[in-house]
Amino acid sequence: MVHYQQILNVSTTGKSLCKITPKVQAVVAESKMQTGLCTLFLRHTSASLVIQENADPDVLTDLSNFFARLVPEGYPYIHSTEGPDDMPAHIRTALTNTSEQIPIMNGRLVLGIWQGIYIWEHRQQGSNRELVVHIY
């Protein structure tokens, strides 16, 4: 079985969904794998991966607004070492995913027409995030 692996460094802006579909597809193309599986793993505890709507940005806004209400920053959390947005970011990550698997067919990710891959930054300040792309 052939494996291909690459780490993508993605700079995020504070609290946003950063579309990474083209970057991941470029790694798939570079791997020259025609049929297989692409596993994505985000090496962080305050950001997550989501596969979500890629056409209407209102969907991403609504998701962000919902999570802001679901996991508020004003709650008196015990863990606050890195600031008031740190523990809420950990909770938001726990409620979403740090890994995803996407099939590969004909050398391309098999995503639905409306699907895009996003790193969801849960911290107020942007960060440099590492994404492991493993293809087999």
The CATH code of the domain that includes 53 is 2.60.120.460
E strands in the chain = 4-11, 16-19, 36-42, 47-53, 99-105, 108-109, 115-121, 128-135
For residues 83 and 97, give the distance between their C-alpha atoms in angstroms, rounded to a whole number: 22
Model pTM score: 0.95
**Is the separation of the CB atoms in 52 and 60 below 8 Å?**
yes
47-102 pLDDT, tens digit per residue, is 999 999 999 999 999 999 999 999 999 889 999 889 999 999 999 999 999 999 99
How high does pLDDT run on average in the chain? 96
CA neighbor of 39 nearest in space, from 31, 47, 17, 12 = 31
Q: What is the mean pLDDT of residues 120-132?
A: 97
Contact indicator for 127, 45 with CB cutoff of 8 Å: no
In this predicted structure, what is the pLDDT of residue 81? 86
Quote the domain boundaries for residue 61. Answer: 4-135
Domains of the chain: total: 1
